[in-house]
Amino acid sequence: MGLNKNKGLATLIGDIDEVYSKELGLDKNKTIQIPVEKIKVNPFQPRKYFDKEALNELANSIKQYGLIQPIIVLKQENHYILVAGERRLRAYKILGYENILALVSDVKEEKLRELALIENIQRENLNPIELANSYKDLIEIHKITQENLASLVNKSRTQITNTLRLLNLDPSTQNLIIEGKISQGHAKILVGLNKKDEKMIASSIIGQQLSVHDTEKIVKKIKNQENANLENNTEFENELKELIKSLNNKGFRCEKNKKNLIIHLKNIDIIKKLRQMIEKIS
């Protein structure tokens, strides 16, 4: 059962409890205990990073107060696939509990990806990279624009765009964002730099504890230098083209190879002519 682009997506982005009851046909009063070992994580889960300290805190809370909210799974032959509640499931594994309280649905697996994306965005517990991947997937799945998505998730178009641009960063930089070592404010400044400069500044942010303002100043200097180099390079290229044109008009056969000028000396007369020209210059 597929969703109808914006309309279907708008429905999913409503209250998350209504999402589960409507989309999965669940009755929240009908929960069962299922073996933890028979649960497989959702392969489309956008969330990849789980803070160990936070998981241990959750495990302690569950041990003291019990599981307040059941996980949600899909029934598939002799196992279950997790739809919502991976942190709770991981906490149960830390505690060594064999069974966990769950709501079970038999809806088709095609719902897994979109429900995992919406569940995480709705609860706002993704890091910036996971959120960027979620936005990217929603845009691709539902064939909508960034502007449409911005409206549906109540974010500005600029926020959506800036978040998506983080996916252009080097994987090593993305990992630093995931681990919380670099903030999203720092990260968006790094977008657009060459990989060497990006990695260098990322290391400096951590090593020198640079503020966002300090990072902006360094990146601005780098970009100004790049623009100056580009202007100088353009002037060089133009002069070289003019030289080749002039030499070709004088009977030489010349060509450019990167920053090298190649003159083809096809006979003795051309060699003599070139020597005479050089002697005049000197």
pLDDT over threshold 80, residue 178: yes
**Topology of the domain comprising 5-123:** 3.90.1530
Distances (CA, A) of 25 to 3, 41, 98, 105, 153: 15, 20, 26, 7, 24
SS3 category, 36: helix
Residue 143: what pLDDT?
80
Q: DSSP states of 104-140 as a string?
A: EE---GGGHHHHHHHHHHHHT---HHHHHHHHHHHHH
Is residue 50 within 8 A of residue 87, CB to CB? The reply is yes
Our measurement of the distance from residue 35's CA atom to the centroid of its chain's CA atoms, rounded to an integer in Å, reads 34
Is residue 187 within 8 A of residue 163, CB to CB? The reply is no
Round to whole Å and give the CA distance between 280 and 282: 5
Active site residue 86: yes
Our measurement of the distance from residue 196's CA atom to the centroid of its chain's CA atoms, rounded to an integer in Å, reads 19
CB neighbours of residue 254 within 10 Å: 16
Round to whole Å and give the CA distance between 82 and 35: 12
Model pTM score: 0.52
Considering all CA atoms of the chain, what is the largest pairwise distance in Å, rounded to the nearest integer? 99
Q: What are the tens digits of pLDDT across the range 181-206?
A: 999 899 999 998 888 889 999 999 99
What are the residue boundaries of the structural domains of the chain, listed by start? Answer: 5-123, 169-255
Q: What are the tens digits of pLDDT across the range 214-240?
A: 998 998 888 877 666 655 677 777 778
AA letter at 132: A
Residue 169: what pLDDT?
93
pLDDT bracket for residue 172 (50, 70, 90): very high
Q: What are the tens digits of pLDDT across the range 45-58?
A: 666 667 788 888 88
Laid out side by side, the sheet with 79-84 consists of 32-35, 99-105, 71-76, 79-84, 39-40
Q: What are the tens digits of pLDDT across the range 238-280?
A: 778 888 888 888 888 888 877 678 888 878 888 888 888 887 7
pLDDT over threshold 90, residue 166: yes
Helix axes 16-23, 112-123, angle to 10 degrees: 160
Joined tokens for residue 58: 């959750």
Q: What are the tens digits of pLDDT across the range 59-88?
A: 888 888 888 788 888 887 788 888 778 888
Q: Of these residues, 23, 57, 86, 235, which one is catalytic?
A: 86
pLDDT over threshold 90, residue 6: no
